[in-house]
Chains A and B, each alone.
Chain A
């Protein structure tokens, strides 16, 4: 399979070509993006008319060189970065039309694992996991675990058990290794009870062994909970193993969109050339 010029998809006959079609596609997809544009300097676009849809339950790997727009795309979806143009439908809702309160409610349903774990270093592991419930429960009960009611503490412990770190609940987050920290970050997203999961190079900051462990665990949890997953990665191997589908970004557009089963490492490597 060849790598096509920017803006053309190899597969993806169902990809929306116009923003107007996104609304209809959004009903059958957990994520539908139409003509998404984003530029940070107003001249060179990071994302240039990117259109994409991810059906429920699919695991999508986003690959591409540094600066290709992978992280920007994920952040635009949650409006952590405001897109310049285009439509984004997440879980059937038009992200760009949401007010602040509705956006918070939507974000609560989407887990986001960052490249760096982004835990609050000075707090306990359990408090960090508990933070995952902040959109469901406001107020001091979800700031620190001693203030949390029993059901929430137990749910947070269950999430820690799922990532194999229940014994570390009382430990300060900054005493953990990189791999353990990333597993706590995953537990925090599970605490959200998410319907959709984003992960932005979730193992990029880990050594190969820890990275492999964390990615296996993460993918297994996603599979068992039947969640839709969109993850970015520089690991070609991870993209092919953990993604049902691989989308490659280059020069602001989609350079490749194909089922992972039909791809090989050599084809993907050409994206980086």
Chain B
């Protein structure tokens, strides 16, 4: 029997479902807000076309990159990564107890659950630069302010994902340990954490990648690292030196991402 002769008794459903009035209104609303947002962003193709020669000129002035302050730039790069690494490690460690409190199935009390969730949400929703400004004002200029910023950032990110990983951990072993008389801490440390560990390692490595990228920007507000070097080079129109820094940042982020991916493959296999 050829395909053309097949005649089903029931007609197939329509290719497109007619949206409800509410969904149709939502589509129109989202479309209208997008147009409004373009207007608010001062979208101007003419400005973009006018700016093209400037872009090429700037890129031209960046090359060849200057090797004049290579040692100083290298030192700042190392400091940037040190901030990111130390901030991530401390943040990840502090996230574990906070995540236990923020996991609905593990928290000792509902008030602690809401307090932990609220704190994590605060750390996550306030942008890096705001935390950096806060720490620059409170502990002074330099990499320590940057590291504290990255600790807060890591807690905001890892606290949430660690708590979710713990909530999703296999309940079977937890029930088995409960049945044999284990206490809450035994269940957390010998059943929940091992089960959540792969996901937690994954989140921690993403945090390190994120922190490396963020630590570059933190220097712009005086929180240490390579950012301040980049700002000074741009302000003084030393675009060839800026190019060196940008290439350095690119390489640093790339290396961290590659190493992180390799670690992820080795640890999580």
Per-position binary interface string of chain B over residues 148-187, scored 1 when its CB falls under 8 Å from any chain A CB and 0 otherwise = 0000000000000000000000101101111111110110
Q: A107 touches which one: B172, B181, B194, B195 (CB < 8 A)?
A: B181
Report which residue of B177, B180, B182 has the largest number of chain A beta carbons within 10 angstroms of its beta carbon: B180
| Interface-centre pick from A118, A142, A144, A185 (highest chain B CB count, 10 A) | A118
Whether B181 and A135, one on each chain, are in contact in the complex, defined by CB atoms closer than 8 angstroms, is yes
Given A121-B170, A134-B183, A138-B183, are A185 and B190 neighbors across the interface (CB < 8 Å)? no
Which residues of chain A have C-beta atoms less than 8 A from B170's C-beta?
Answer: 121
Query: Which applies to chain B's interface (DSSP): helix, strand, loop or mixed?
Result: helix
Say yes or no for A11: interface residue by CB 8 A criterion.
Answer: no
- Report yes or no: B195 in contact with A131, Cβ–Cβ below 8 A: no
A235 at the interface (CB under 8 A from B): no
Q: Is B226 an interface position by the 8 A CB rule?
A: no
A127 to B193, CA, bound (A): 14
Chain A 97-127, CB-CB to B under 8 Å as 1, else 0, gives 0000000111110111010101111110001
Is residue A188 contacting chain B, with contact meaning CB distance below 8 A?
A: yes
Whether a CB of chain A sits under 8 angstroms from the CB of B36 is no
Min C-beta distance of A242 to chain B, whole Å: 21
Within 8 A of A (CB), among B220-264: none
Give the distance to chain A from B233, nearest Cβ to Cβ, in Å. 48
Q: List residues of chain B with CB within 8 A of the CB of A118.
A: 172-173, 175-176
Q: Which residues of B contact A106 (CB under 8 A)?
A: 181
- Are the C-beta atoms of A134 and B189 separated by less than 8 Å? no
**Interface residue? A189 (CB, 8 A):** yes
Interface string of B192-228 (1 = CB under 8 A from A): 0011011000000000000000000000000000000
Contact B175 A188, beta carbon cutoff 8 Å = no
Task: Give the nearest-CB partner of A122 in chain B.
Answer: B194
Report A125-145 CB contacts with B as 1/0, cut-off 8 Å. Answer: 001000110110010101110
A142 touches B186 (CB 8 A): yes
Complex: chain B residue closest to A123, CB-CB? B194
Asked if B136 is at the interface of the complex by the 8 Å CB criterion, the answer is: no
- Assign chain B's interface to a size class: 20 to 34
Inter-chain CA distance A189–B181, complex, in Å, is: 11
B191 within 8 Å of A (CB atoms): yes
Q: A112-B176, A114-B172, A122-B195 are in contact. Are A143 and B183 (CB under 8 A)?
A: no
Residues of B within 8 A of A131 (CB): 177, 180, 182, 186, 190-191
Contact of B186 among A119, A122, A138 (CB under 8 A): A138
Whether the Cβ atoms of A134 and B186 lie closer than 8 Å is yes
- What's the nearest-Cβ distance from chain B to residue A75, in Å? 8
Smallest CB separation, A124 vs chain B (Å)? 10
B171 and chain A: residue at smallest CB distance: A118
The reply to whether the CB of A49 lies closer than 8 angstroms to some CB of chain B is no
User: Assuming A114-B172, A118-B173, is B178 touching A80 (CB within 8 A)?
Assistant: yes
State the CA gap A15–B176 with chains docked (Å): 30
Nearest-CB residue, chain A, relative to B189: A143
Give CA–CA (A101, B189) in the complex, Å.
19
A53 within 8 A of B: no
Using known A-B contacts A116-B172, A140-B189, determine if residue A134 contacts B197 with beta carbons closer than 8 Å: no
Q: Are B190 and A122 within 8 A (Cβ)?
A: no
- Chain B min CB distance to A223 (Å): 22
Residues in A with CB closer than 8 Å to B197 are 122
User: Chain A residue with minimal CB distance to B169?
Assistant: A120
Q: Which residue of A lies closest to B196 (CB)?
A: A122
Q: Which B residues lie within 8 Å of A104 (CB)?
A: 181-183
Q: A114-B172, A121-B170 known; A108 and B190 CB under 8 Å?
A: no
Complex Cα spacing A132 to B268, Å: 27
Contact check, B179 vs A78: say whether CB atoms are below 8 A apart. yes
Distance (whole angstroms) from the CB of A94 to the closest CB of chain B: 17
17 A-B pairs in the complex with CB atoms less than 8 angstroms apart: A78-B179, A80-B175, A80-B179, A104-B183, A107-B178, A107-B180, A114-B172, A116-B172, A118-B175, A122-B197, A131-B182, A138-B183, A140-B189, A142-B186, A143-B189, A143-B190, A144-B190
Pairs of residues from A and B, 3 with the lowest C-beta to C-beta distance, nearest first? A135-B181, A108-B181, A118-B176
Chain B contact residues, CB within 8 Å of chain A: 170, 172-173, 175-183, 185-186, 189-191, 194-195, 197-198
